[in-house]
C-alpha cells in the first residue's frame, strides 16, 4: 500500500529551497532600489547643476569685463544691458560668489540686499577654484552634494566654460 503525502525531510528541503530563493529575490530588490535611488539622485543633481550653470552662462556671456576674486570663490563681472559700449554710466556690476555651501548671485553690487541663492550644497572639486577667468574665457567648476542617512553621500561634479563675447 502506497501512502500519499510528503515526508518531513521533503518538506524541510522544499522550505530551505524556498527560503534561499526568497532571500535572493529580496536582496536583488533591495540592491536595485538602492541603485535606482542613487541614479535618481544623480539625475536630480545634474539637473539642478545644469540649470545653475545655464543661468551663469547666460549672465556671463555678454559681459564686458570679468575678474575672479577671493582665490576663485567670487567672480565679478560688468554687463551693459543697453549695449552702449562707449557709455559706461549704464553699466551694471554683478557677481557670483560662494557663501558657505551656497552659490549666491548679486545682480547689482551697488544695491545692498538683492542677493539670491542660486544653488545650495556645493563644494570645491578637489583644489580647483570655483571661478577662473583668463582673458575673455571663464571656467566654472563645483560639486553638488547631498548627505543622506540611508543612502550615504551622493555628489555630482559640474563644470562649464564660457566665452565672454564682449571682452
Residue 86 inside a domain? The answer is yes
Residue 121 inside a domain? The answer is yes
Name the domain count of the chain: 1
Each residue of 57-95: pLDDT tens digit? Answer: 999 999 999 999 999 999 999 998 888 878 888 899 999
- According to the model, what pLDDT value does residue 23 have? 96
Residue 2 inside a domain? The answer is no
Residue 3 inside a domain? The answer is no
- According to the model, what pLDDT value does residue 130 have? 96
**Would the CA dihedral through 70, 73, 74, 75 be positive or negative?**
positive
Residue 1 inside a domain? The answer is no
Residue ranges in the chain whose pLDDT is less than 70: 1-2, 150-151
The residue ranges of DSSP E strands in 10-130, in sequence order, are 65-69, 74-79, 92-99, 102-106, 115-119, 122-123
- According to the model, what pLDDT value does residue 84 have? 82
Residue 12 inside a domain? The answer is yes
Which residue segment(s) compose the domain that 148 sits in?
Answer: 8-163
**How far lies 48's CA from each of 108, 120, 124, 128, 153, in Å?**
24, 10, 16, 21, 17
- According to the model, what pLDDT value does residue 1 have? 53
- According to the model, what pLDDT value does residue 72 have? 95
- According to the model, what pLDDT value does residue 35 have? 84
Amino acid at each position: 500500500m502506497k501512502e500519499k503525502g510528503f515526508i518531513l525531510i521533503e518538506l524541510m528541503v522544499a522550505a530551505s529551497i524556498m527560503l534561499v530563493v526568497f532571500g535572493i529575490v529580496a536582496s536583488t530588490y533591495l540592491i536595485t532600489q538602492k541603485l535606482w535611488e542613487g541614479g535618481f539622485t544623480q539625475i536630480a543633481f545634474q539637473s539642478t547643476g545644469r540649470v545653475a550653470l545655464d543661468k551663469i552662462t547666460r549672465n556671463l556671456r555678454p559681459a564686458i569685463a570679468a575678474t575672479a576674486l577671493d582665490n576663485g570663490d567670487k567672480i565679478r563681472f560688468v554687463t551693459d544691458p543697453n549695449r552702449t559700449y562707449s557709455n559706461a554710466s549704464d553699466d551694471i556690476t554683478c557677481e557670483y560668489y560662494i557663501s558657505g555651501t551656497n552659490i549666491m548671485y548679486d545682480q547689482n553690487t551697488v544695491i545692498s540686499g538683492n542677493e539670491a541663492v542660486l544653488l545650495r550644497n556645493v563644494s570645491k572639486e578637489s583644489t580647483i577654484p570655483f571661478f577662473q577667468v583668463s582673458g575673455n574665457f571663464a571656467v566654472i567648476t563645483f560639486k553638488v552634494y547631498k548627505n543622506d542617512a540611508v543612502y550615504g553621500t551622493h555628489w555630482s561634479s559640474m563644470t562649464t566654460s564660457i566665452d565672454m563675447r564682449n571682452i
